[in-house]
A and B are shown apart, each in its own frame.
Chain A
């Protein structure tokens, strides 16, 4: 059963119950007070009848001029008075436990049946019976009191009719059942509509969740309804957002892996295709001219060199990713000197100049890895520069961070190239890059090294004007991510590897024995 149905039914039950109880309570109160009023009225009527009967006896005595009337005379007076029409209410008069006279014998006998002690009650002054007795279609207040006549023991019995009050109560009860049901139904209908409207946001949320489980994260309905529902919908939207974000990130990683794998397959297989093709031609051709032989062989050599360069870069890339950084404080001056001494011979051959300027900063880096970063960047700058050009290697400071830059006035790059420059295997001009020995991995490698050092690589370039590559140091925490265990074991000294290896040997031995 749905929540709104449950709520509606429960509410219906309690509303009807409350309405009915209230009505019953009110009816009961009305009835009680009506009955009390009637009883008071019955008492006053009874008293007045009692007084009038006594007056008649007194009047009869005075009329006859007697000091006392005997019992027969009194009986006669009372009988005539009770039968007469001078009284509002029919009365019954008892004498010594016997009915003297009754104008209301049918109801009196019913009352007598209900109160058998009625006749035996002694007619002591001040005592009386007050009760409600009932017949088939009537109810009346029964009042009994002694008549003060000094002679004999007379008692007056009146039955004051209160049937209408009981009838009113019955009618009221019957009406109450119906009106209660009607009011309850009305309120419930209103409740159902209200609940349906109020619970609408819940259905929206459920729908959203269903869509999310179906893989659609784009649906993000505006939170609406009461605060709880708003919070719920907002949380769902947040969840969908973060799932989508994570999924996007995973897909991006998968995509970039696939791109990398595709690009690598392409880069590996292109030289291989030439090598295999030319070698195969040399093998299977019946006649190979000297020119063809030279041509094919030199292309095989070129392509093999290209593969050599590519595999070296790939190895470097793999070890950059996996090796633990050996961080140490190194002065920029030392680094620059090392770059100079290592690169100078190659630069001089092309008539290039390398100028350095630094402010004596000390940076915390993995010396070997960082040097290879600088070599790569200077090498790039050299490739881009015209013969006889100058390359600058500068250390400065921006916002308190050390910044190293490699500047050239070479061919520069177009904006699109700058954007994709750090992508693995990206080469703007493949033919030219390959001639220069490039594999399209240099800047990708530099970017990796920077990232692992918590530095950021920035490339500013203007086509045909030159390029500046900036290394912003310490913009993030150096990456201390643990590399793949296999690589770590291979790279680290034997100290750490030894216990593990011992364990492995033991396991292997165990297996052999088994």
Chain B
């Protein structure tokens, strides 16, 4: 399933960063640096998700969101904001945005947020494949070469996270944040143990590699 993303951002370099990030996440994307133009393009319904900068010249992100929601468009929107204040966050979510990402952000964080939003609106793959491994995200089942593999919920989540972020180095902190929750105060030891279990159970030696001083990467 091809996911089309619209990036609404006026800073050229950030647009480039976002573009490169979306490219490694396997998304198709278009860019727009003008608020008024963005409204028309979003309402046309060509996009599955919108990354919307809050501070734009002419029309700010909040106005754009109001306008597209008034026009009856339900395209999920993730705000990109430099405003870290809680009031602004609430304003964004109340206005009908699906989520917000505070600048500056890490690549994996943005991809994970987009993944969550897309899953919520039912725009993710039901089946993920890697080699002979198939993950059914609806039934939460994993098969390798047609044979079912038994995984604990955490192991399943770790596997899914790697499969969704192929060829991207994932740090232990990112795994902790995305799978154990942001407030999890556990040690990164348990991350290592889970990754080892996934590697062993699914025979991913040499594919799910350890990158010194950084984390892990599932390579294809």
Q: Which residues of A are interface residues toward B (Cβ below 8 A)?
A: 262, 265-266, 268-278, 280-281, 283-287, 292, 296, 299, 302-303, 430-431
Contacts and interface: CB of A to CB of B under 8 A. Distances in A.
Interface string B52-71: 00010100000000000000
B11 interface: yes
A83 to B, nearest CB: 121
Given A262-B83, A277-B18, A280-B108, 13 more contacts: A265-B82, A265-B83, A269-B103, A272-B103, A273-B14, A274-B14, A276-B105, A277-B107, A280-B107, A284-B107, A284-B217, A286-B217, A430-B11
Given A283-B169, A285-B168, A299 B83 contact: no
B44 interface: no
A281 B107 contact: yes
B17 A285 contact: no
A299 B11 CA distance: 12
A274 B12 CA distance: 9
- By Cβ-Cβ distance, the 7 closest A-B pairs, closest first, are A277-B17, A284-B169, A269-B82, A274-B13, A273-B104, A276-B104, A272-B104
B16 interface: yes
A327 to B, nearest CB: 39
Interface in B8-36: 10-14, 16-18, 20-21, 24
Contacts of A285: 24, 167-169
B17 A273 contact: yes
A96 B14 CA distance: 146
Contact of A274 (B10, B11, B57, B169): B11
Contact of A281 (B21, B57, B83, B104): B21
B84 interface: yes
A286 B167 contact: yes
A283 B173 CA distance: 15
B219 interface: yes
B196 to A, nearest CB: 21
B214 interface: yes
Given A275-B104, A284-B107, A431 B17 contact: no
Contacts of B219: 286
Nearest to B108: A284
A250 to B, nearest CB: 19
B106 interface: yes
Nearest to A302: B13
A85 B119 CA distance: 139
Nearest to A286: B167
Contacts of A273: 11, 14, 17, 82, 103-105
A49 B14 CA distance: 139
Contact of B24 (A274, A275, A281): A281
Contacts of A281: 17, 20-21, 24, 107
Contacts of B17: 273-274, 277-278, 281
A268 B103 CA distance: 10
Most buried by A among B11, B18, B170, B219: B11
Interface in B80-133: 82-84, 103-108
Contacts of B104: 269, 272-273, 275-277
Contact of A277 (B21, B167, B168, B169): B21
A296 B84 CA distance: 26
A303 B83 contact: no
A266 B107 contact: no
Contacts of B20: 277-278, 281, 292, 296
B7 to A, nearest CB: 12
Contacts of B16: 274, 278, 299
A272 B84 CA distance: 14
Contacts of A274: 11, 13-14, 16-17
Nearest to A270: B11
B78 to A, nearest CB: 14
A280 B217 CA distance: 14
A261 to B, nearest CB: 9
A338 to B, nearest CB: 37
A276 B103 CA distance: 9
Nearest to B170: A284
Nearest to A262: B83
Nearest to B82: A269
A274 B80 CA distance: 13
Nearest to B54: A266
**Residue in B10, B12, B104, B219 with the greatest tally of chain A CB atoms within 10 Å:** B104
Nearest to B110: A277
Interface string B208-219: 000000100101
Nearest to A264: B82
A299 B13 contact: yes
Contact of A284 (B57, B84, B105, B168): B168
B81 to A, nearest CB: 9
Contacts of A431: 12
Contacts of B214: 283-284
A280 B107 CA distance: 7
A303 B18 CA distance: 15
A303 B12 CA distance: 11
A63 B47 CA distance: 158
A100 to B, nearest CB: 122
A274 B16 CA distance: 8
Nearest to B15: A274
A277 B108 contact: no
A265 B83 CA distance: 7
5 contacts: A266-B83, A272-B104, A284-B107, A299-B16, A431-B12
B84 A265 contact: yes
